[in-house]
């Protein structure tokens, strides 16, 4: 039954693809052409709006990524400074210990 359902879905998908192609191939009048053109222009505008939104989102993501990279670099520099300070303190402690010994 799963295989039958899968085959039925494939047939429906194939029919939908053929119908869309037949619909565009069967345009015969100016009115149908105008309607098709109006639909296509609407789809184009919708796509352009979506592209603009995605582009804006991409720019915002790039800006956030840049900010995070700057913060990461600052944190790495701070960690390096702390490590150097720790090493200096360790060296001083070792020298004090050697003097006491």
Whole-angstrom distance, CA of residue 59 vs CA of residue 23: 39
Q: How far apart are the first and last CA of the chain?
A: 86
Its pTM stands at: 0.54
Whole-angstrom distance, CA of residue 33 vs CA of residue 10: 30
Using only C-alpha atoms, the chain has a radius of gyration, in whole angstroms, of: 34
CA atoms within 13 Å, Cβ hemisphere of 85: 6
Domain boundary assignment for the chain: 2-99
- Condensed to tens digits (0 to 9), the pLDDT of residues 31-84 reads 878 888 898 899 999 999 999 999 999 999 999 999 999 999 999 999 999 999
């Amino acid at each position: 039954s799963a295989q039958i359902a899968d085959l039925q879905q494939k047939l429906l998908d194939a029919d939908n693809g053929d119908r869309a192609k037949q619909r565009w191939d069967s345009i015969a009048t100016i009115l149908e052409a105008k309607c098709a053109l109006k639909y296509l222009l609407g789809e184009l505008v919708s796509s352009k709006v979506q592209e603009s939104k995605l582009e804006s989102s991409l720019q915002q993501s790039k800006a956030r990524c840049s900010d995070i990279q700057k913060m990461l670099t600052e944190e790495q520099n701070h960690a390096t400074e702390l490590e150097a300070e720790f090493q200096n303190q360790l060296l001083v402690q070792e020298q004090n210990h050697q003097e006491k010994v």
